[in-house]
Amino acid sequence: MKLGPGTLYGTIDRMIRDQLVEETGFTDDARRRYYRITNLGHRVFTAELSRIGNIVRATRSKALPKGARA
Amino acid sequence: MKPPNPFLFALYRNSLRLYPHRLRLLYQDQLLQTARDAYADSNSSLYFWPSLFADLLKSAVKEHLLMIRDQAIARPIFFHALTLGIILTLFGAFAAFVFQALLRRGANEPQAQMAALYASKIASGANPGEAIPSNYVDLERSLEPFVIFYSDQGAPLTATGYLNQVIPTPPSGVFGYLRSHPTDTITWQPQPNVRIAAVIHRVSGPHPGFLLTGRSLRLVEEQEEVLRKMVFGGWFLIVFLLFAGAILLSRLQQSPPRLVRGG
């Protein structure tokens, strides 16, 4: 998946506001910033991963037999 | 690290103004650095720049919409007042348009009946000079309806309506239209201060020609002016009350709770 700079920083801004990620404060260049995932962010990420996994499993369990048409 | 095209990069840097001010202030340097890094990693500059600008436009629109949503959530009373104001404005404009159209349509009412009556009399053989009653209506001053009969060539023959003591004649295009249509309804301005609601019939038979009945629009236009003032005044009052109420409610919500001394 490719994200453009605008999409990326808009998303980061909202994730900071929702306390899912935070700035590390570390920088090797004034133009670069580094972020780390927070505990809340980690829990949300795990929950989201589990939700998507459930969807995938549910979809696979209802998959039509090979060669059948919907 | 390959440097990006200076012109396109400068264009991108200036286009960052499309983002909301807060976002630009926080991330401008990072956005530019990420664009530089992405360019260095890209294989084709032909694909890179269109996709970068497409991302800029898409994300700028998205960020503005999200900003509006956040503001609406932060100040719901103002958002509701604004929505109600827009609905009332649209409704008021539509109602005013309908009333104005009804007023203007009503201005044709006696003329349409008169035109049909005189046109049928002349078509059935009556002489236009006898079918049309003898009367004198000054188009500049009178509000009375009037009748004018024109020959098949568009020359005035007999009339009850006069302007500067002469029978006025509408533009030749009006007669041209009526050669292929039985009737027409027009707003006719024979001179700057005189506007007429006119109904014209094509008359066939032994006395072919055109029968025009008209009436001054002065009264209707005065009523339209009163309607415009009432609608605008009403709209202004409602919108003022709406926003004054929203400001008041917002302040009441923001004011800190008062301490109540226990007895």
- Tens-digit pLDDT profile for residues B179-189: 899 999 999 99
pLDDT category of residue B260 using cuts at 50, 70 and 90:
low
Partner residue facing B55 (CB), from A5, A13, A33 = A5
* Structural domain includes residue B255: no
Is B62 in contact with A10 (Cβ distance < 8 A)? Answer: yes
Is A13 in contact with B55 (Cβ distance < 8 A)? Answer: no
* Structural domain includes residue B21: yes
B92 in the same domain as B138: no
Of B25, B58, B74, at which residue does a domain stop? B74
* Structural domain includes residue B60: yes
* Structural domain includes residue B61: yes
Contacts of A5 in chain B (CB under 8 A): 30-32, 34-35, 38, 52, 55-56
Contacts of B54 in chain A (CB under 8 A): 4
**Torsion angle of alpha carbons B40, B46, B49, B52, nearest 10°?**
-80
- The number of C-alpha atoms within 13 Å of B171 and in the hemisphere containing its C-beta is 8
Angstrom distance (rounded) from CA B166 to CA B199:
20
Q: How many domains does chain B have?
A: 3
B208 in the same domain as B235: no
B116 in the same domain as B212: yes
Task: Provide the 3-class DSSP secondary structure of residue A58.
Answer: helix
C-alpha closest to that of B184 among B150, B211, B220, B156: B211
Q: What are phi and psi of B240, to 5 degrees?
A: -60, -50
* Structural domain includes residue B187: yes
Q: Is the pLDDT of residue B56 over 50?
A: yes
Domain that holds residue B190: 109-216
For the segment B6-22, what is each residue's pLDDT rounded down to a tens digit? Answer: 899 999 999 999 999 99
User: So what's the pLDDT on residue A69?
Assistant: 59
Q: Is the pLDDT of residue B1 over 80?
A: no
B120 in the same domain as B37: no
B226 in the same domain as B100: yes
Looking at CA atoms only, how far is residue A41 from chain B in angstroms?
Answer: 21
Angstrom distance (rounded) from CA B208 to CA B125:
10
With contact defined as beta carbons under 8 Å apart, do B34 and B4 qualify? Answer: no
Is B27 in contact with A32 (Cβ distance < 8 A)? Answer: no
For the segment A1-59, what is each residue's pLDDT rounded down to a tens digit? Answer: 678 888 999 999 999 999 999 999 887 777 788 899 999 999 999 999 999 999 999 98
B202 in the same domain as B227: no
ipTM for the whole predicted complex goes beyond 0.95: no
Strand B194-203 relative to strand A21-23, pairing: unpaired
User: So what's the pLDDT on residue B261?
Assistant: 57
B96 in the same domain as B184: no
Q: Is the pLDDT of residue B263 over 50?
A: no
B67 in the same domain as B80: no
* Structural domain includes residue B80: yes
B206 in the same domain as B135: yes
With contact defined as beta carbons under 8 Å apart, do B123 and B116 qualify? Answer: no
* Structural domain includes residue B240: yes
* Structural domain includes residue B251: no
Interface test with A, best of B16, B27, B28, B73 (most A CBs within 10 A): B27
Q: Domains (ranges, CATH) in chain A?
A: 5-61 (1.10.10.10)
**Which stretches of chain B are DSSP H helices?**
6-15, 21-41, 45-74, 76-106, 109-123, 128-131, 172-178, 218-254
The β-bridge partners of B149 are B158, B211
B123 in the same domain as B67: no
The pLDDT of B57-78, averaged and rounded, is 86
Is A6 in contact with B38 (Cβ distance < 8 A)? Answer: no
B206 in the same domain as B118: yes
B121 in the same domain as B57: no
**CATH code, domain with B160:** 3.30.450.20
User: So what's the pLDDT on residue A66?
Assistant: 66
For the segment B186-242, what is each residue's pLDDT rounded down to a tens digit? Answer: 999 999 889 999 999 999 888 899 999 999 999 888 988 998 899 899 999 998 998
